[in-house]
Amino acid sequence: MEPKKPKSSIEDQIEENLKKVYQQKVTEQVPDTLLELISKLRAQDSQQ
């Protein structure tokens, strides 16, 4: 296994920005249209 090399400043910035974007997406609400679609698909599935 190779030893880890120290991260550069650019890599640190990229990592931090990716974490921020991920956190924003995780906390976003699911759009109503998607929730309606899921509900319709579940209803169809339960009828089969």
pLDDT at position 3 over 80:
no
pLDDT, tens digit, for every residue of 27-41? 999 999 999 999 999
The two tokens of residue 30 are: 């699911």
d(C-alpha 11, C-alpha 18), whole Å: 10
**Separation in Å, CA 8 to CA 2, 20, 21:** 17, 19, 20
pLDDT class of 5 with cuts at 50, 70, 90? confident
**What mean pLDDT is reported for the chain?**
91
d(C-alpha 13, C-alpha 47), whole Å: 50
Cα angle 9-14-18, degrees, rounded to a multiple of 5? 150
